[in-house]
Amino acid sequence: MIFVIMIVFGILSYAVSARLKNKFKKYSQIPLTKNLSGAEVAKLMLADHGIHDVEVICVPGKLTDHYNPANKSVNLSPEVYNGRNAAAAAVASHECGHAVQHATAYSMLEFRSAMVPVQNASAKILNVIMMVMLFGGFFLFSAFPVKMVLLVIIGAYGVMTLFSFVTLPVEFDASKRALAWIDERGIVNSQEHDMAKDALKWAAMTYVVVALGSLVTLLYYVSMFLGGRD
């Protein structure tokens, strides 16, 4: 059953990711009326919010855009950093939305940041357990009671599921801030706003799929544990 869940959500994740890439490619071919690059949009948004200690950096890869709160940097892929289109403006302003969240101590971002070490530890525990179950499940269940192993899995997946759902409002809020700012600043016209909104919607969908997949997997292991109770 767990393999069915993994396959289903793997297909969903691939479909959403492919849709996002197609949307980005489509909107990247339409020049922005203001002729601003993603880097210029990012720097302008940061300045407008009084943020002067965040660096805008170009990083290699596709769709590798992210905000790093540790060194206060907005990291943009080459397509976004140099792109002069609605998709680039949307992604650049979205990542700056995270910088604004950080600067204003947005509660959900702070909660998510605090969870990162626990989430990373949970992921490592799960990786070890899954590897042992795959190559030596007999020895694992000989050394430890099944219920104990299931409880550890449930605990780890519980942390990861909470983390994925906490991520959703952080991402939605960053997009909301981005769309509001590019409108107020006149970065986009009405048509470009719709393109930016659509691109950010599909980017957000990737996080939704991850959250739902994690929740379904957690519920599966909870049902296994409850079903095995005396």
d(CA 88, CA 86): 6
Instruction: Answer whether 159's CB lies under 8 Å from 118's CB.
Output: yes
d(CA 215, CA 203): 19
Q: Which residues contact 135 (CB under 8 A, 6 or more apart)?
A: none
Question: Which tokens in the block code for residue 20?
Answer: 């996002």
Residues in the chain: 230
β-pair type (73-76, 55-58): parallel
**Is 40 labeled as catalytic in the residue annotation?**
no
Catalytic residue among 40, 79, 95, 192: 95
φ and ψ at residue 85, rounded to 5 degrees = -150, 175
CA distances from 52 to 10, 49, 181, 228 (A): 40, 9, 17, 57
Q: Which residues are catalytic?
A: 95
